[in-house]
Amino acid sequence: MQKPLDLGHKVIDAASVTCIKPVSAEQLGRLNSAENWTLEARALGGAGGYIADADITKAVGVFAKLGERLSLIPETGEAVRRDWLTAVKPFASREGAPNKFRSVATFTNPASGEKTDEWFAATPEQLRGSKAPAFKDLAAG
């Protein structure tokens, strides 16, 4: 474990966290816990954990104090490790399914090569921090 972080119920490796997401009411109901889990730190290998009574801005600050840079997406209350993003595409929901996601992202740890996919409420542009340049626009210049 490179950078242990005690979440109160579990110690996680902050260096393996790819993103932090808000816990939905539906998800909170499935957790069957008396804790007020507000955020979920998602990590490579499923080694993340839940964070109680915290907001996303405070969580990003805690990770920054450990030297782990997560970018806040204020519109959705999510935070991502942009330097590990290797692919981002729009989410395609199945017909009749709830449309709660707008993107699917692949994160790759540059040191280990370990990968994971995550689904987000944020758009691909929000995840990347900007709109990707179009090939045709770059080729025209």
The tens-digit pLDDT sequence of the chain (141 residues) is 789 999 988 999 999 999 999 998 888 888 878 888 999 999 998 889 999 999 999 999 999 999 999 999 999 999 999 999 999 999 987 777 667 899 999 999 999 999 999 999 999 999 999 766 778 877 886
Is 29 inside a domain boundary? Answer: yes
Alpha-carbon gap, residue 103 to 80, rounded angstroms: 12
- pLDDT, position 58: 95
Domain annotation covers residue 140: no
Residue 54 domain-assigned (yes or no): yes
Residue 136 lies in a domain: no
Please tell me the predicted confidence (pLDDT) of residue 107.
Answer: 97
In whole angstroms, what is the distance from residue 8 CA to residue 91 CA?
Answer: 33
Residue 26's domain spans which residues?
4-131
The count of domains in the chain is: 1
> Residues near 115 by Cβ (< 8 Å), separated by ≥ 6?
44, 86, 106, 107, 108, 109
Question: What pTM, to 2 d.p., does this model score?
Answer: 0.87
Q: Which amino acid is at 49?
A: G
